Amino acid sequence: MTEEKKSVPRHIGFIMDGNGRWAKAKNRPRSYGHKKGADVIEEVVDASFDHGVEAVSLYAFSTENWKRPKEEIGALFDLFLEYFISELDDLDKNNVCIRIMGDMSAFPEKMGRETDEAMYKTRNNTGLKLNIALNYGSRAEVVRACNALIERGKPIDEAELMNALYTAGLPDLDLVIRTAGEQRLSNFMLLQAAYAELVFTDVTFPELTDERYADCIREYQRRTRRFGAVTE
Ligand code: IPE
Ligand code: IPE
Ligand code: MG
């Protein structure tokens, strides 16, 4: 049991929240918070690799985030594009394998091209698996999976459903970390998080440091996971 408790989470989900509040506290526009948040992603990726995590899923833009002001959405698109253009070579060099989760058809075409290239270029990389959730919602993901499965015209089992999700082939989430104090999942990877440990930290995403991230992993390691069974 000690082994299990101290184990490194294989798959971590990040609900990167609090960019806007962080910026507001500094009297800056929300887009400034998103920019700082984007910088922190690099640190999260590096630290995840150092911790020995296998896969990281980042919630970058939800299916509900379309409700935000046009200018904020525009600023986010620019940042996503900038991220893929400026980081791709480094991520590739670091053996990171990128997977996009979400319907890219709703974004400007250029975004689709960049994300396709990111996935294609890094497809054979064997290091950290980095999933980026863009225009992602768990319910939309399940609907997409069901529509793909329905064509088979026969009943399906749990494994087939899980395999029709964006995370096909990856382990379930062991840990979901949400920054900025909110304690909810906001439509993030609901099926993959069925038995995930949830860790909420008050620091906003732009303020997340390697130390705080390590604290979240330590918190996870203190938990006893039972998966419905009993422990002695
Ligand atoms: C998270 O920060 C980034 C996205 C949702 C894109 P928020 O923008 O939600 O920041 P708060 O929650 O308003 O502070
Ligand atoms: C969740 O954060 C979405 C992302 C982190 C991309 P939100 O800020 O959109 O969630 P709510 O509205 O507080 O639930
Ligand atoms: Mg928020």
For every one of its 232 residues, what pLDDT tens digit does the chain have, with 9 covering 90 and above? 444 447 999 999 999 999 999 999 999 999 999 999 999 999 999 999 999 999 999 999 999 999 999 999 999 999 999 999 999 999 999 999 999 999 999 999 999 999 999 999 999 999 999 999 999 999 999 999 999 999 999 999 999 999 999 999 999 999 999 999 999 999 999 999 999 999 999 999 999 999 999 999 999 999 999 999 998 7
65 is catalytic: yes
Which conformational region is residue 214 in: left (phi greater than 0), alpha (psi within -120 to 50 degrees), or beta? alpha
Dihedral of the alpha carbons of 54, 157, 186, 22, in degrees to the nearest 10: 10
User: Distance, CA 179 to ligand 3 centroid (Å)?
Assistant: 9
**Could you give the CA distance from residue 171 to residue 104 in angstroms, rounded to a whole number?**
24
> Is the distance from the beta carbon of residue 192 to the nearest atom of ligand 2 less than 6 Å?
no
**Could you give the CA distance from residue 169 to residue 23 in angstroms, rounded to a whole number?**
37
E strands, 49-189, in order: 55-62, 97-101, 129-136, 175-178
CA distances from 65 to 59, 72, 76, 77, 142 (A): 11, 10, 10, 12, 18
Type and span of the H or E element at 14: strand 11-15
Are 145 and 164 within 8 A, CB to CB?
Answer: yes
Name every residue whose Cβ is closer than 8 Å to that of residue 225 and which is 6 or more positions away in sequence. Answer: 4, 195, 197
Beta bridge partners of 200: 178
Q: Indicate the pairing of strand 97-101 with strand 55-62.
A: unpaired
17 is catalytic: yes
Q: Which of 46, 65, 92, 103 is catalytic?
A: 65
Which ligand is in closest contact with the Cα of 63? Answer: 2
Residue from 14, 15, 21, 205 to probe ligand 1 pocket by mutation (most atoms less than 8 Å from CB): 21
Whole-model pTM over 0.85: yes
> Is the distance from the beta carbon of residue 182 to the nearest atom of ligand 2 less than 6 Å?
yes
CA distances from 165 to 148, 150, 174 (A): 10, 14, 17
Which ligand is in closest contact with the Cα of 72? Answer: 1
Closest CA to 195 of 166, 158, 232, 160: 158
Which ligand is in closest contact with the Cα of 17? Answer: 1
| Residue 5 confidence (pLDDT) | 47
Q: Which residue puts its alpha carbon closest to atom 9 of ligand 2?
A: 65
| Residue 55 confidence (pLDDT) | 98
